[in-house]
DNA sequence: TTTCTTGTGTGATATTCATCACACTTTCAT
DNA sequence: ATGAAAGTGTGATGAATATCACACAAGAAA
């Protein structure tokens, strides 16, 4: 394990913020800080899960093999845990995580994490709140996506990326079109066509991988109509 | 609140099994046991959530208004909590719950539930495990359903009901075809056609609302092919 | 650079499925 | 029991989108 200072880490999770000094000391001894490059696999579906992963910086995709191809389940931006369900719901990873931008990840021994839950109620509570919020977010998306058509879902995703991940109408699009297809549940070609449409109607603009949302209103309309 | 005995309740959640005697006493004073008939609304999307709901007996559907119609997010069978994410993830219910068979539900004051989490680490841990397992289940379904076609999804659901809810190849189907459509994300008519097909090819048999799975192998094949 | 791989744009075609329409059946309340 | 309401079966049609096919572009590696 590399030596690092958890207590003064500027990227603490809301759960970690309630840890006591002695707990930080144990944490430092039982966690490892690792750097990943864009495209690197962080953990793999099917492998044994012995660590909880905390995304300190960067962006990660959570994905899983579906019946015909890969399905991207969620995009996680720092700071956030991203391996809790797969660690405590099943011994074997039920999904993979891959870095889609350079990231730093803190791996926390799952026995230690479990002890924090058992011994620090506030820590447990914060973990529960995070799990609950994620689940609500997922539900919202399921409900939307199963009833919208492709342009609507793509529009929703673009807005979501702009708002919650990059917090700017202009950003470097972190996925290939194929990945975006795996995320929204469609084909690569359909994504390409939808993006071309948006681009032709000046709703968005592409400069290489940089995307700018020009008409947010139109995007929102398309997203809502379905 | 009706007087009832929680400590000796035969339908305890795995979290409740680790409560201490004094905690049971508080629980009895801050929980209410309510009976619902098939079709009754248990709590409603948009309302303030002040209780955690525990399904003691029966079956419940969790559903949410989508862009064009209702979406059924999950079917919950007793014993299980079913209002945790909406209670701790957001003050306002993000989904509704409706009884699809006669049920008994135990409502637990959410402040009390929170105190159990804060003060009883084992309780918190069990809650976390349940949340994690649910999330993994949702992911699995999400990955499958976004890549399968309608017959495959319907087949999957029938197998799931038979296996995990009724634990028998013959059971009284608890949903209307319209509801099954809202669950798998398709139209009522498509569900009707798929069920007719299955019935014609002697894969399943209907007697009124009673369904029997005749050829489980075929169903599984259809489910896997997508 | 050149070459190789990976990603992208776009037409033509086929398929799945939603929608509309309407008859029929079951359930429920009066 | 009788009528109204809710649920179901099934054809005809059209729309959305997957798939196939291929050209082209961009990036990585030699």
Which nucleotide lies at the shortest CA–C1' distance from A187? Answer: D18
CB of A177 within 7 Å of some strand C atom:
yes
> Cβ B124–A125 below 8 Å, yes or no?
yes
> Cβ A131–B85 below 8 Å, yes or no?
yes
Which residues of chain B carry a pLDDT beneath 50? 1
CB of B192 within 7 Å of some strand D atom:
yes
The answer on pLDDT for A5 being more than 90 is no
Neighbouring C-alpha atoms within 13 Å toward the C-beta of A123: 20
User: CA torsion, points A197, A198, A199, A202, in degrees to nearest 10?
Assistant: 120
Chain A residues in contact with B185 (beta carbon < 8 A): 146-147
The answer on pLDDT for A160 being more than 70 is yes
d(CA A44, CA A52): 13
Residue A3 confidence (pLDDT): 64
Chain A residues in contact with B135 (beta carbon < 8 A): 85, 89, 131, 134-135, 138
A9 — phi, psi (to 5°)? -60, 130
Smallest Cβ–Cβ distance between A138 and the set B66, B138, B147 belongs to: B138
pLDDT in tens, A117-137: 999 999 999 999 999 999 999
Closest approach of A161 to chain B, Cα-based (Å): 20
d(CA B114, CA B52): 10
Neighbouring C-alpha atoms within 13 Å toward the C-beta of B157: 28
Nearest CA in chain A to B114: A125
Closest CA to A198 of A154, A147, A144: A154
Residue A4 confidence (pLDDT): 80
Identify whether the C-beta of residue A2 lies closer than 8 Å to the C-beta of residue A33. Answer: yes
DSSP 3-state helix, strand, coil percentages of chain B (rounded to 5)? 45, 25, 30
Mutate to test the interface with B, among A49, A72, A83, A85 (most CBs of B within 10 A): A85
Give me B87's structure tokens: 């209670």
Closest approach of B156 to chain A, Cα-based (Å): 12
The answer on pLDDT for A2 being more than 80 is no
Whether the ω angle into residue A79 lies within 30 degrees of 0, i.e. cis, is yes
pLDDT higher for B120 or A50? B120
Q: Give A67's pLDDT tier (boundaries 50, 70, 90).
A: very high
Identify whether the C-beta of residue A45 lies closer than 8 Å to the C-beta of residue A67. Answer: no
Residue B225 confidence (pLDDT): 77
Identify whether the C-beta of residue A19 lies closer than 8 Å to the C-beta of residue A123. Answer: yes
Which protein residue has its CA closest to C1' of C7? A176
pLDDT in tens, B111-125: 999 999 999 999 999
Alpha helices in B46-202 (DSSP H): 84-88, 110-119, 121-145, 150-160, 177-184, 188-200
A7 — phi, psi (to 5°)? -60, -40
Mean per-residue pLDDT, A176-193: 97
The answer on pLDDT for A61 being more than 80 is yes
CB of A150 within 7 Å of some strand D atom:
yes
pLDDT in tens, A70-118: 999 999 999 999 989 999 999 999 999 999 999 999 999 999 999 999 9
User: What pairing do the DSSP bridges indicate for beta strands B170-172 and B59-65?
Assistant: unpaired
| B 150-189, residues with C-beta < 7 Å of strand D | 176-178, 188-189
């Amino acid at each position: 394990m590399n030596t690092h200072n958890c207590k003064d880490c500027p990227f603490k999770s809301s759960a970690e913020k309630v840890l006591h000094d002695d707990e930080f000391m144990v944490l430092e001894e039982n966690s490892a800080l690792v750097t990943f490059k864009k495209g690197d696999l962080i953990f793999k579906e099917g492998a044994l899960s012995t660590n909880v992963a905390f995304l300190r910086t960067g962006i990660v995709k959570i994905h899983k093999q579906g019946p015909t191809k890969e399905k991207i389940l969620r995009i996680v931006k720092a700071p956030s845990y991203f391996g809790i369900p797969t660690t405590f719901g099943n011994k074997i990873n039920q999904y993979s995580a891959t870095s889609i931008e350079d990231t730093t990840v803190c791996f926390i021994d799952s026995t230690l994490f479990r002890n924090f839950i058992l011994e620090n109620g506030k820590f447990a509570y914060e973990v529960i709140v995070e799990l609950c919020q994620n689940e609500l977010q997922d539900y919202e998306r399921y409900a939307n996506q199963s009833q919208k058509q492709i342009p609507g879902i793509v529009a929703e995703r673009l807005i979501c990326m702009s708002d919650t991940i990059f917090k700017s109408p202009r950003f470097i699009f972190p996925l290939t079109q194929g990945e975006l297809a795996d995320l929204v549940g469609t084909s690569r070609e359909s994504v390409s066509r939808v993006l071309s449409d948006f681009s032709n109607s000046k709703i968005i603009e592409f400069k290489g991988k940089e995307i700018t949302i020009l008409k947010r209103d139109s995007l929102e309309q398309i997203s809502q109509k379905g």
